Amino acid sequence: MKRILVTGGAGFIGSHLSHHLLAQGHAVTVLDDFSTGTLERLERAGPNDRLRVIEGSILNPDVVAAAVQNCEMVYHLAVQCVRRSIGKPIANHDINATGTLNMLESARRAKSASSIVPHQRSMATLRTDCWARMRSSASR
Ligand SMILES: NC(=O)c1ccc[n+]([C@@H]2O[C@H](COP(=O)([O-])OP(=O)(O)OC[C@H]3O[C@@H](n4cnc5c(N)ncnc54)[C@H](O)[C@@H]3O)[C@@H](O)[C@H]2O)c1
């Protein structure tokens, strides 16, 4: 059993992933600000004492650092839809870019997370290689 952090775990993809990971026997920490996600999505599968829910933003480094503690893996799915960037481009950029950087930095500092899976398909190839490079440069 691993403890796995799912950011955006109350969203469409994140809630399905969280249920799947719990069904596989893992412990799941969800970090979500509930701006578009809902608790109902997570509660759909009934109570589970392996599920921990943290309400907070990936823009808050302290919250992200606390969430990643003791997690061996991170699925980073907290995101604002690109359609929202038309009306709120700066806020959208902050969450999708700076929020992702916060997540990567917290995972690097925690050293407990062995891999991070970002939400953008184009970034998927960064997964293990990127993390291995980050770990090796951090240990120098
Ligand atoms: N929905 C799809 O069909 C689909 C298909 C392929 C890929 N994806 C990708 O998967 C990812 C997630 O998509 P989704 O459809 O689940 O989106 P979603 O909007 O349902 O979920 C995003 C979650 O992130 C949370 N969130 C937003 N800002 C946050 C912040 N500052 N701090 C913490 N949490 C925050 C929201 O509350 C929400 O629960 C996206 O990158 C998307 O491109 C989605």
Kindly give the number of the ligand 1 atom that is closest to the alpha carbon of 121.
Answer: 7
Which residues are CB-neighbours of 37 under 8 A, at least 6 positions away?
8, 9, 10, 11, 14, 15
Residues 77-102: tens digit of each pLDDT: 999 988 888 899 999 999 999 999 99
- Residues whose beta carbon lies within 6 Å of some atom of ligand 1: 7-8, 10-14, 31-37, 57-59, 77-81, 95, 99, 119
pLDDT tens-place values along the chain, 140 residues long: 899 999 999 999 999 999 999 999 999 999 999 999 999 999 987 889 999 999 999 999 999 999 999 899 999 999 998 888 889 999 999 999 999 999 999 998 887 655 666 665 434 333 444 444 444 444 44
Kindly give the number of the ligand 1 atom that is closest to the alpha carbon of 13.
Answer: 16
Rounded-to-integer distance, Cα 39 and Cα 25, Å:
21
* Beta pairing partners, 32: 55
Rounded-to-integer distance, Cα 1 and Cα 14, Å:
19
Residue whose C-alpha is closest to residue 96's, from 129, 88, 72: 88
Question: How many other C-beta atoms can be found within 10 angstroms of the C-beta atom of residue 27?
Answer: 18
